[in-house]
Amino acid sequence: MGSPGLTAPLRRPLFRRLGATYAINEVGDWMGIIALSVLVYDETGSALATTVLFLGMSFTPAILAPILVARVEQPPPRFVLPTLYCGEAAAFGLLALLATHFSLTLVFVLAAVDGALALASRALTRAVVAALLAPSGELRAGNALLNVAFTGGAAVGPAIAGVFVAGFGVQSALLVDAVSFYAVAWILFSAGSMPRAEPEPGKMRERVRAGLRYIRGKPTLRRLLIAQGAAFVFFSAVLPVEVVYAKQTLGAGDSGYGLMLASWGGGMVLGSILFAVLRKASLASLLFFSTLAVGAAYLGLAAAPTLAAACGVSAVGGAGNGVQWVAAISAVQELTAEGMQARVLSLLESVGAAMPGLGFAIGGLIATISTPRTTFLAAGVGVFAIVLTAAPLLGRKWSERTATPGSSQLDGGKDVVLELLSGRLPVHTDPEVEP
């Protein structure tokens, strides 16, 4: 039987709704991020306060989201997902009130609450998509389409948010953001029933512990999560110094900085399309080469003599970035049993939210001690080191393994193939026994 076409998931009304809400959610997230950044900086005049806001929107939600998912994964997702989005809408409604009655503490608290709700809703959405599409073999195509929606929202979201905040003000932007989340909640609630994998019964604490035991018992899945977390550190290390690199190192000014970011964003959109086109390629190969592309782009930026060269290299790095994240999500989904999808994906989302904070600190410290070029160099070397370390430990042909009922495709088999580079002999081990 041939693999399903790329557009096959779009024939499902529920998937179309999930994809639409994914794009709306991404644009809404950017609206909230930019509006809150402007609000905090205007009210405090402190770059440190804005930095703490970003950290509060990442680290605290990263801790809370897996616990929240374990709490809400049992009720039907038709009710849980709209409730989470209504919670986000309420949070932004309260934040809009704080635009005229400012309290830094309350802004931080509400931003952290919204961050936890956002991570939980994304994890549960991915779990619903897996339950909907995996039985028919359409999950890979569905992930590709969701990635196009995500990167499209990420590409236009900042521009829309910046123009709206500048034209209508912070409070109006936050109110529109609240309305967008209510719209998402209605779209999902009116969709009817949603498929889900039945989680095991038990109290929330027991399910959290069961999820951690599950990951510990799956060496390949655990190593993939660790490698992705380490990669996030180096991926994000350059973000705090990009503006300094563009304006001072390259002498390109504000417009040059914007052009470089636009080049990376355009590359991400291209990468999402590339992942869709290459949906028959092995996930391990896509992860391997896309991660190397990001690392190579950072090394290229460390040496780029002009803005034009930096923009060209950024487009390549953005394309790698656009493939890498969706390939990681797809790999985690393939390696995870149905009943554990929401909990494992929530951990992946949490890793993606928390680890960049460490990268920000490392990148800023290197730039302070040396130069922005050194930060790009260190980030590129770090990415290459992670790839070369993780490659021998991760399997290559995940999608070609035969799954046993209720298990992932790779770990459901009797052995794990630890092969990444062609020409190497596979090494067989018991997946439940640590080497």
Q: Identify the three-state secondary structure at position 273.
A: helix
Phi-psi region of 3 (alpha: psi -120 to 50; beta: other; left: phi over 0): beta
The model's pLDDT over 48-75, given as tens digits with 9 standing for 90+, comes to 777 677 777 777 788 888 888 877 777 8
The span from the CA of 208 to the CA of 223, in Å, is 19
Which range is most confident: 86-95, 113-122, 205-214? 86-95
- Quote the pLDDT of residue 373: 93
CB 340 within 8 A of CB 212: no
218-394 shares the fold of 1-194: yes
The model's pLDDT over 150-189, given as tens digits with 9 standing for 90+, comes to 777 777 777 787 788 888 888 999 999 999 999 999 999 9
- Quote the pLDDT of residue 202: 59
CA 265, 324, 245, 302 torsion: positive or negative?
Answer: negative
CB 301 within 8 A of CB 311: no
- Quote the pLDDT of residue 401: 41
Can you tell me which residue has the tokens 């039987």? 1
How far are the Cα atoms of 71, 146, 215, 302, 314 from residue 381, in angstroms, in the given order? Answer: 40, 31, 28, 11, 17
- Quote the pLDDT of residue 27: 83
- Quote the pLDDT of residue 38: 83
DSSP states along 278-299: TTTS-HHHHHHHHHHHHHHHHH
- Quote the pLDDT of residue 47: 65
What's the mean per-residue pLDDT of the chain? Answer: 81
Of the pLDDT bands very low, low, confident and very high (cuts 50, 70, 90), residue 149 is confident
Q: Where are the chain's structural domains?
A: 1-194, 218-394
Mean pLDDT for the stretch of residues 113-118: 89
The model's pLDDT over 270-315, given as tens digits with 9 standing for 90+, comes to 888 888 888 778 888 899 999 999 999 999 999 999 999 999 999 9
Q: Which CATH class is domain 1-194?
A: mainly alpha
The span from the CA of 356 to the CA of 17, in Å, is 30
CATH architecture of 218-394: Up-down Bundle (1.20)
Phi-psi region of 406 (alpha: psi -120 to 50; beta: other; left: phi over 0): left
- Quote the pLDDT of residue 37: 80
The span from the CA of 90 to the CA of 181, in Å, is 9
Strand partners, 53: none
The crossing angle, in degrees rounded to 10, of helices 13-44 and 77-98 is 20
